Amino acid sequence: MNLARKTMNAPALAAVYERAWRPTVFYLASGRTTAADRRDAVATLRLRGPQKVLDIACGPGNFTKYLSKALSGDGYAVGVDYSAPMLARAVADNAGPRVGYLRGDARTLPFADETFDAVCCFGALYLIPDPLTAAREMIRVLAPGGRIAITTSHRADNPIGDMSRVIGGWSGLRVFDAKTFPTLFADNGLVEIDQRIHRMLQYVSATKPA
Ligand X SMILES: C[S@@+](CC[C@H](N)C(=O)[O-])C[C@H]1O[C@@H](n2cnc3c(N)ncnc32)[C@H](O)[C@@H]1O
Interface ranges with ligand X (CB under 6 A): 8, 22, 57-59, 62-63, 81-83, 86, 105-107, 122-124, 127-128
CB 168 within 8 A of CB 175: yes
> 157: buried, middle or exposed (CB in 10 Å: 19+, 13-18, 0-12)?
exposed
Q: Are 68 and 90 in contact (CB under 8 A)?
A: no
Shortest Å, Cβ 70 to ligand X: 16
Cα distances (Å, whole numbers) of residue 32 to 17, 25, 79, 88, 192: 16, 10, 23, 27, 23
In the complex with ligand X, which residue's Cβ is closer, 92 or 186?
Answer: 92
- Rank residues 44 and 62 by Cβ distance to ligand X and give the closer one: 62
Q: How far is the CB of 74 from ligand X (least distance, A)?
A: 24
Residue with nearest beta carbon to ligand X: 59
- Cα separation, 182 vs 87, in Å, equals 30
CB of 164 to ligand X, least distance (A): 16
Provide the minimum distance between the beta carbon of 71 and ligand X in the complex, in angstroms, as a whole number.
18
For ligand X, the closer CB: 132 or 157: 132
Smallest gap from residue 176 Cβ to ligand X (A) = 15
Instruction: State which residue, 140 or 209, has the beta carbon closest to ligand X.
Output: 140
Closer to ligand X at the Cβ: 25 or 186? 25
Provide CB contacts within 8 A for 20, sequence distance 6+: none
Are the C-beta atoms of 71 and 97 separated by less than 8 Å? no
